[in-house]
A and B are shown apart, each in its own frame.
Chain A
Amino acid sequence: MVPRAEFGSYYGRPIIKAPSWAARDIAGYFFLGGLAGAGSVLAAGAHLTGRPRTATALKASSLASVTLSAAALVNDLGVPSRFPNMLRVIKPTSPMSVGSWLLSVYGPAAGVAALTAATGRLPRTGVAATTGAALLGPALATYTGVLAADTAVPAWHGAHRQLPYVFAASATAAASGMALVLGPTGENAPATCAAALAAASEQIAIRAAERDLGMVAETYRSGRAGTLLRYAEALTVAGAAGAALLARRSRPAAVVAGLALLAGSACTRFGIFAAGIASAEDPRYTVGPQYAAADVDPSQT
């Protein structure tokens, strides 16, 4: 006899389709894009306030991470020769179109900023490129929150009011972590301060997201996503606290705190990515919030 179907879903199959994006490529891109974008702002600040070694190091790290992130995106397309179609149109309704244009302007700016800082040539071009990268960097760090939220994925769309803030905070944590790893102790006071701000804001934004998500918040607390987000919280808070207490005095402590902040930021992105996939794969998370939003009891229909 055919087993009875479970009513309330179609054989338990998902209603929406989860993205086929590889976590390494896309969650990795979220992390690297944030590191590059917030790094450019920190670099410009360091440049402006006479912290040349930190500035040069962060410009190099932004160039490296934006290069890697573009490679991750092209790799996810499968066929690299298809990439130019991304720049066929400009569509504000498509966060991916906006992001592709952003990346293709920010990338060269970050490149020129890094090269002029490393070689010491063309100082005025360097200042212009540093400024350009610092202006576009915050957009690069936050638009990925919109990219994820502008989908039918319950764990992402349900947090569309908070994801840009989570991503901004996580990007700041990563960039200040990089500054702590690469910069001398004498220059790392701003990074220490930024790390503390970022860690606090990230936790506040994630808590607010969980409140908006209702039942879907389960996907942030359980499974692979839950594990990653618990690591993210522990690493980010420990990194920020370690930096505040020890980074000014001890270079090794600064490096360890910086690495913890970088790892925490990566865990946040991979955790949110995993929560999205988990929420797409279970039809409960699609059906429940829709009945809740319409304020309808399904048993009465």
Chain B
Amino acid sequence: MTRNLLSGPEPDPARDAGHEDAPPRVGFFTDTSVCIGCKACEVACKEWNAIPEDGLSLSGMSYDNTQGLGSSTWRHVAFIEQSAPADGPPTPAGRTVLPMAGTQPEGPEDAATQGSGSASDMRWLMSSDVCKHCTHAACLDVCPTGSLFRTEFGTVVVQEDICNGCGYCVPACPYGVIEQRPSDGRAFKCTLCYDRLGAGQEPACAKACPTESIQFGPLDELRERAALRVDQLHESGVSEARLYGHHPEDGVGGDGAFFLLLDRPEVYGLPPDPVVTTRDLPAMWKHAGVAALSLVGGLAMSFAAPAVLRGKARR
């Protein structure tokens, strides 16, 4: 079978999309081990892209009142409160360990005297989620209007003047990123600040991140940096650190925006091993063809059978 561009390794999506003099592919490496949950990325994204307000509600989900990515939320900071792993990293000497609310009812003095060695039994995971700008982007593949397209930077962007609000990209996305804006019907998502990239600027969220949890750059460079960072964390005893979406041979051909996580992906609301749905599209078209032929065959039989029976009856 000839090679298709629907799945598998794809070193240069921009060039295969027709950008002949494409610059190096860019993306995000979000290192959640240094995220402090400040939400500066959410705010910077909303401001730069002039995204409308999308509700002010208290969710009860720790400090996360944004709840998830959507048409009007292109960066989302997740907050997970959980028991710290028993074999977690030792607290560096001299650091004061403060209790979580409700875990140390005795008062602040006890906590202040705990000192090094015994960390609190709770921990917080914070992670800034974003569109993954997949190498094999299902949203782009299934878009019937050509509104979703691959930019010269290898990112995936919606052209809002072409989107007709069919909503097919929404269930196609294996990460639940893209969404139709209820007031408008058209689909919106992160553009990786396409306008800023064109002007040689980094995306607003990366610019605003105070801890460099969100790193922007050429994807190859980010992958090297991420591999070093995960090794460094493993050496210092953070055995649960793992990269997510970095591998060019995973089900979506690798993400343009990938992550360093401290727990299993689904804990952060991420699918553990997503596969682009269009990988199976050639098989689906084949089955549809066979099904269409069986429909014709079945009906032809239905016309032939009574005629044959009548013929026999006459004889």
- A residues adjacent to B (C-beta < 8 A): 1-5, 7-11, 13-21, 38, 41-42, 45, 48-49, 76-79, 82-83, 85-86, 88-89, 91-97, 100, 138-139, 141-143, 145-146, 149-153, 157, 160-162, 164-165, 167-168, 171-172, 176, 189-191, 193-194, 197-198, 201, 276, 280, 283, 286-287, 290-291, 293-294, 296, 298, 301
Contact = CB atoms under 8 A, between A and B. Distances in A.
Contact of B291 (A15, A100, A164, A197): A164
Contacts of B227: none
- SS of B interface (majority): mixed
Given A142-B291, A168-B291, A19 B102 contact: no
Contact of B299 (A11, A86, A94, A190): A190
B124 to A, nearest CB: 11
Interface stretch (B143-151, B202-210, B217-225): B143-151
A290 B174 CA distance: 11
A142 B292 contact: yes
B96 to A, nearest CB: 22
Given A91-B144, A146-B285, A41 B303 contact: no
Contacts, number: 255
Given A17-B173, A19-B170, A89-B145, A7 B277 contact: no
Contacts of A15: 175-176, 266, 269-271
Of listed A13, A85, A149, A276, residue having the most chain B CB within 10 A: A85
Contacts of A168: 291-292, 294-295
A49 B142 contact: no
Contacts of A193: 301-302, 305-306
Contacts of B268: 10
Contacts of A7: 82, 263, 267
A176 B99 CA distance: 70
B196 interface: no
A86 B143 CA distance: 9
Contact of B67 (A13, A42, A291): A13
B168 interface: yes
B292 A86 contact: no
17 contacts: A8-B264, A15-B269, A17-B178, A21-B167, A77-B185, A83-B164, A138-B292, A145-B287, A145-B288, A149-B277, A150-B172, A153-B171, A157-B280, A168-B291, A168-B294, A276-B171, A290-B275
Nearest to B177: A17
Given A79-B185, A160-B280, A161-B283, A13 B269 contact: yes
B51 interface: no
Nearest to A78: B185
A49 B303 contact: yes
B61 interface: yes
A13 B273 CA distance: 17
A190 B165 contact: no
Contacts of B176: 14-17
Contacts of A152: 138, 171-174, 274, 277
B293 interface: yes
A163 B280 CA distance: 13
B281 A86 contact: no
Interface string B223-249: 000000000000000000010000000
B144 A86 contact: yes
B254 to A, nearest CB: 16
Of listed B68, B146, B164, B290, residue having the most chain A CB within 10 A: B164
A94 B180 contact: no
B141 interface: yes
Contacts of B269: 9-11, 13, 15, 283
- Which range holds the interface residue count of chain B? 35 or more
A160 B173 contact: no
B25 to A, nearest CB: 21
Given A49-B307, A151-B277, 5 more contacts: A5-B81, A89-B144, A138-B291, A138-B293, A283-B269
B179 interface: yes
A149 to B, nearest CB: 5
A38 B78 contact: no
A75 B166 CA distance: 10
Nearest to B161: A85
A194 B302 contact: yes
Of listed A93, A138, A193, residue having the most chain B CB within 10 A: A93
B192 interface: no
A30 B301 CA distance: 25
Interface in B49-71: 59-62, 67-68
A77 B164 contact: yes
B300 interface: yes
Contact of B171 (A10, A16, A77): A16
Given A16-B173, A142-B291, A172-B298, A1 B277 contact: no
Given A38-B299, A167-B291, A5 B80 contact: yes
Nearest to A193: B302
A10 B269 CA distance: 5
A191 B301 CA distance: 11
B26 interface: no
Given A17-B173, A286-B271, A161 B302 contact: no
A3 B300 CA distance: 63
